[in-house]
């Protein structure tokens, strides 16, 4: 994904949860179905963007992603929340809900 396309998505009116992940990352595989469930739960209230750090080095570097999984929640182009590692679904759901 180009940096321009990424910026266009995060600057939209809909909050965006960005999941920085890697194919070789065990915790990323653990979080993947959780992220999919939350995407379905929130429907059109939330956009989910999955970014492979190995294929999107420039984007990962720009946002100082040092470990995976790293989650960033954007609202109108601004980071409103950030976390790394595995999170319980209910905790992540509440964080997203609080920013909608």
- Active-site residues, by number, are 25, 28
Half-sphere exposure of 90 (CA within 13 A, CB side): 0
- Rounded Cα distance, 61 and 68, in Å: 13
Q: Which two tokens stand for residue 6?
A: 């990424």
Determine phi and psi for 87, rounding to 5 degrees.
Answer: -125, 145
How would you classify the pairing of strands 78-84 and 70-75?
antiparallel
């Amino acid at each position: 994904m180009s940096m321009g396309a990424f910026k266009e998505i995060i600057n939209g009116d809909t909050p965006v949860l960005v999941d920085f992940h890697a194919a070789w990352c065990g915790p990323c595989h653990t979080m993947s179905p959780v992220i999919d469930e939350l995407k379905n739960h929130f429907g059109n209230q939330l956009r989910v963007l999955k970014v492979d750090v190995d294929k999107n080095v420039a984007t990962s570097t720009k946002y100082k992603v040092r470990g995976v999984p790293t989650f960033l929640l954007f609202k109108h182009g601004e980071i409103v929340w950030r976390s790394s590692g595995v999170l319980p679904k209910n905790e992540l759901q509440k964080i997203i809900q609080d920013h909608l």
